[in-house]
Chains A and B, each alone.
Chain A
C-alpha cells in the first residue's frame, strides 16, 4: 500500500494506535459481553471461561487489553481536550508524551499486579 510510504509524526502514530486499540478493545468487548451473558445462560461454561482468564495466557491477554484500554482512554482524553480547547493543539505532541508517562506510571504496576500470580503460583 502506497500509504505506508508516508512518514507520519506523533499525531499519526497517536491516531494509528488509537484506532488499533479501539478496534482491539471492541473485539474483546464482543467476547466479554458474550461471556457475561453466560452468567445467566450457562454458569458452568462461564466458570470455565474464567479459568481461562486466570491462566497465564489469559493474564497476558488481559494485560494487553488493559494496555489498549489505558492508551485509548488517555489518548481519547487528549483528543477531547483538543476538541474543546483548540489552542491546545499547539502542544499536541507534549500531550501525547504526557499520556505515555501516565501510561507507564499506571500501567507498569497494573501489569505487575495482573501478571504476578503467574510466577507467584495463583491459588
Chain B
C-alpha cells in the first residue's frame, strides 16, 4: 500500500499492470463468451465427440483458414484468461516465496501450453484435396 505522508499528499505506488490484467480478463472474457461457448456448442451439440476423430479434425475443421484462425484465437484467449485467472487465485492464497515460485511456474506452463496448442492448430499441413 501507498504510505501516507503527513506533509499532505501520499506517494502513490500504482502500476499499470493490474489495470492491464483487469482489462484483459474482461475483454478476453467477452471474447470467450462467443468463442468458448461457440466451440463447446459446435463440438457437442452439432457434432458428437464420437464422430470427431483426428481425421475429422484435420480434414474438416482445420481444412479452412477461417477455422484455424478461430481455434487459434480461442486458444490465445483461453490461455491468457485462464492463466491470469488462476494467477489471481494463486496470489490470493499464497504468500512470499511460494507465491513467486507458483506464479512463475504458472506463467511457464501457460507459455508451454500456448506453444503446444499453436503447434497443433497452425503447423499441421493442410490436407491435400
Most chain B CB within 10 A, of A36, A54, A66, A117, is at A36
Most chain B CB within 10 A, of A34, A39, A54, is at A39
| Measured CA separation A98–B52 after assembly (Å) | 34
Does A108 touch B at the CB level, under 8 Å? no
Interface of A is mostly: helix
Measured CB to CB, the closest approach of chain A to B29, in angstroms, equals 5
Does B96 touch A at the CB level, under 8 Å? no
Closest to B36 in A: A69
Q: Mark contacts of B71-99 with chain A using CB atoms, 8 A cut-off: 1 yes-contact digit, 0 otherwise.
A: 00001001100110110010000000000
Which positions 46-77 of chain A face chain B at CB distance < 8 Å? 46-47, 50, 53-54, 58-59, 62, 66, 69-70, 73, 76-77
Take A39-B57, A80-B26 as given contacts and tell me if A50 and B49 are in contact as well, using a CB distance cutoff of 8 Å: yes
Number of interface residues of A (CB under 8 A): 38
| A76 CB contacts on chain B under 8 angstroms | 29, 32-33
| B52 CB contacts on chain A under 8 angstroms | 50
Closest to A113 in B: B45
Are B49 and A47 in contact, with the CB atoms below 8 A? no
Q: Mark contacts of A88-102 with chain B using CB atoms, 8 A cut-off: 1 yes-contact digit, 0 otherwise.
A: 000000000000000
| B116 CB contacts on chain A under 8 angstroms | 33-34, 37
| B105 CB contacts on chain A under 8 angstroms | none
| Measured CA separation A43–B59 after assembly (Å) | 13
Measured CB to CB, the closest approach of chain B to A58, in angstroms, equals 7
Most chain B CB within 10 A, of A40, A59, A70, is at A40
Take A29-B82, A39-B57 as given contacts and tell me if A54 and B49 are in contact as well, using a CB distance cutoff of 8 Å: yes
10 A-B pairs with least C-beta separation: A54-B50, A26-B82, A53-B49, A37-B116, A43-B54, A33-B117, A54-B49, A46-B54, A76-B29, A37-B120
